[in-house]
Amino acid sequence: MSRATLRDVAKLAGVSVATASKALNGQPQVRAETRERVIRAAEQLSFSPNTLAQGLITQRSGTVGLLTSDLEGRFSIPILMGAEDAFGSDQTSVFLCDARGDTIREKHHLRALLSRRVDGLIVVGARPDTRPSLGDLPVPVVYAYAPSDDPADLSLITDNTGGGRTAVDHLIRCGRRRIAHITGDPGYSAAQDRARGAVDRLTEEGLTLAGGEVWFGMWSEAWGRGATRMLLERCPDVDAIFAGSDEIARGVLDVLHEERIDVPSRVAVIGFDNWSVLAVNSRPPLTTIDLNLEHLGRIAAQRLSAAMDGTAASGVETFPVRLITRESTAPLR
């Protein structure tokens, strides 16, 4: 099965390539009967236009690059799906490249992508902290998840502060008053932001954190377990725990369960990320905060399209997160 060219189609239809092109592309200056003949010829040869040649002359390759450092991670994939969705998949295909956290590999991929004449670039960081800008490029770029350090770039991020606030707000609405916060590495802006949001909301309510302060540590179940044990010792009457990630929340649940402390009737637990393999399967299923990453991906695609059409934006846009209610939280009584 070999590839037919437009010339083959034209010959079979008895017209010139120019006419064939116009017929297939819906240009008006061709007689209906002729168009019909061309289309039939194309089908008969199962012709499909060579996108490379098209790109060469239209100066649009119909491709974008997705440059990430978080492939096996769970962030780039939803973003990719959202983006794939927003570009019609027949219009635009996406090159996926994983730099694996390595700057020179990133440069490498960048060169390759530019050489392939991608129409735009989406850059997804591995963590929500600011990352170095790629600088001035011949194609539009949007940074998603991790913002660029250059305000002239366009960055799309999730609202971690708002997420912390939402989580605590939900716990308060459940009637909880003694709320603790166990979270990950304090070196991550995500940890800091979520904690800030949580504390802000608590302060509005005239409350302070159970346990006195935020329990920073690591993004792991083990830390969730350890911190929970310490927390229970220092503060046995805690009635809600806001975990900075679903992994941590799993550790929290594990220890509560071990101590025969019922969730949610005695202690409510809320996670962060809505990583479904963790959140759905836990006992009980975990209320958590969803980052809305597919949405972020869709917006990234839209912004990219806009920029390709000449209306580029810049600055940082923050997108709201979403509360997912499951069974690990419930009103008191």
Partner DNA sequence: CAGCGGGCCGAAAAGGTTTTCACGAACGTC
Partner DNA sequence: GACGTTCGTGAAAACCTTTTCGGCCCGCTG
Q: Which does 6 bind (CB under 5 to 8 A by kind): its own copies, DNA, none?
A: DNA
Q: Which residue lies nearer to DNA by CB, 31 or 100?
A: 31
Q: Is residue 152 close enough to count as binding its own copies by CB under 8 A?
A: no
Q: Which of 3, 31, 173, 234 binds its own copies (CB under 8 A)?
A: 3
CB of 80 to its own copies, least distance (A): 7
Residue (42 or 97) nearer to DNA, CB = 42
Shortest distance, position 29 Cβ to DNA, whole Å: 4
User: Pick from 71, 157, 171, 210: which binds its own copies (CB under 8 A)?
Assistant: 71
Three-state helix/strand/coil letters over the chain: CCCCCHHHHHHHHCCCHHHHHHHHCCCCCCCHHHHHHHHHHHHHCCCCCCHHHHHHHHCCCCEEEEEECCCCCCCHHHHHHHHHHHCCCCCCEEEEEECCCCHHHHHHHHHHHHHCCCCEEEEECCCCCCECCCCCCCCCEEEECCCECCCCCEEEEECHHHHHHHHHHHHHHCCCCCEEEECCCCCCHHHHHHHHHHHHHHHHCCCCCCCCCCECCCCCHHHHHHHHHHHHHHCCCCCEEEECCHHHHHHHHHHHHHCCCCCCCCCEEECCECCHHHHCCCCCCCEEEECCHHHHHHHHHHHHHHHHCCCCCCEEEEECCEEECCCCCCCCC
Q: Rule CB under 7 A: which residues touch DNA?
A: 3, 5-7, 14-19, 21-22, 24-25, 27-31, 33-34, 47, 49-50, 53-54, 56-59
For its own copies, the binding residue among 5, 11, 55, 134 (CB under 8 A) is 55
Region 248-307 residues binding its own copies, contact defined as CB under 8 A = 250-251, 254, 257-258, 275, 277-278, 281-283
Note the residues at the interface with its own copies (CB under 8 A): 1-3, 48-53, 55-56, 61-63, 71-72, 77-78, 80-81, 84, 89-90, 93-98, 105, 108-109, 111-117, 136-138, 220-222, 225, 247, 250-251, 254, 257-258, 275, 277-278, 281-283
